[in-house]
Amino acid sequence: MHDDVVRSMLTEHETWAVVGCSPDPARDSHQIASLLKSRGHRVIPVNPAASEILGERCYPSLGDIPQHERVDVVDVFRRSDQAGRHVDEAIEIGARGVWLQLGVIDHQAAERAREAGLDVVMNRCPRIEVPRLHLPPRLEEKSRTMPPRDWRSPILEVENGERQTVALYSKLAPVYEAWARFTESRPRQRVLELAAVRDGEAVLEVATGTGVQLVALAQRNRSGRTVGIELADGMLVKTRKRVAGAGLRGVEVEKASALSLPLPDAGFDLVTNGYMLDLLPRDDIPKALSEFRRVLKPGGRLVLSNMTKGERPWHGVWDFLYARGIVLTANCRGVLAAPVLEKLGFTEIRREYIAQMLFASEIVSARKPE
């Protein structure tokens, strides 16, 4: 277990559901929930024997928590032999991580959570980890702050042109998921949470890559229209194979550039895009986002994931090397999408910062005005 995972949970994740939270202030579960609240986290107590704890509504089970609460971390205060079912519930509700408290150990459950893409901390206590890692309160963190409006000057120019980049990603297609598993799994999950697909919608993903996220979107939209756009032939092959393997009929996959989408105006309720803006020349970033705006319906939703500028020690190592001609990220470098969206007239712009394996990502959501 790496300290980066502990640090991420205690600084980047907003909403914690505390399973087994006690109304008794003398109990550890109550004290830890109080500690989390004092650090700026949203705490949801889970206890079938209580209606309210620490001024927060208490729910009988994780499954009873309303979906709009979007639980980030499930903190388990139960005996080790009972922890597994709560870990499975955490997977089911789409949590981003599971924290098993000091003395709570279930290696099999932890492995199930990791296989489902969740971060896992086991046999640890926040009351010990916060001072050990010298963590500031979450309210002082930058995880949800907006980047500066001057977005061009901090962004490096790309090393390769479109033709080279497309050829590179075609070659990388067979092995791309090995990289993505360690750097993009959490951002992908967060994109799906923020996308909040409603079955029957018109959904567009631009830059499908290997098709992992497109399949997840289509599975949530079986009676709607789901379209994927990709420019690299190798990625197109992977996407089509993945869609067919998932038994999803009617999903449209087309080869096209994000700078000129072969789609009519105002046709989609949702547009998603992952790890593409960070490959574009600076001048093309507004062009791509303008195309996304064009094809969205009034009030339509946009959710982006990009490599971004590192905000913490060592998170900027990739851009540091990129600036010196050492490109280890397949031509990606950190970008800032939120200020561009603001200039283009999007509303309800929100940004989150997530890092995996020192790889900094931003998740940006917005709406096209009604």
**One domain for residues 200 and 344:** yes
CATH code (residue 132): 3.40.50.720
Predicted pLDDT of residue 139: 44
In a domain, 292, yes or no: yes
**One domain for residues 177 and 92:** no
| Residues spanned by the domain of 20 | 3-140
CA distance 146 to 124: 32
**One domain for residues 79 and 47:** yes
Neighbour count for residue 124 (Cβ, 10 Å)? 18
**One domain for residues 180 and 58:** no
**One domain for residues 248 and 332:** yes
In a domain, 23, yes or no: yes
**One domain for residues 215 and 121:** no
- What domain count does the chain have? 2
**One domain for residues 194 and 306:** yes
Neighbour count for residue 82 (Cβ, 10 Å)? 13
**One domain for residues 34 and 91:** yes
**Secondary structure letter of residue 59 according to DSSP:** B
Q: Which phi-psi region, left, alpha or beta, contains residue 94 (left: φ > 0; alpha: ψ -120 to 50)? A: left
**One domain for residues 125 and 200:** no
**One domain for residues 61 and 132:** yes
Predicted pLDDT of residue 67: 75
Predicted pLDDT of residue 312: 83
In a domain, 151, yes or no: no
Mean pLDDT of 149-166: 85
In a domain, 155, yes or no: no
CATH code (residue 243): 3.40.50.150
Predicted pLDDT of residue 161: 85
Predicted pLDDT of residue 69: 74
* % the chain with pLDDT above 90: 80
Write down how long the chain is. Answer: 370
The two beta strands, 252-255 and 296-307, are unpaired
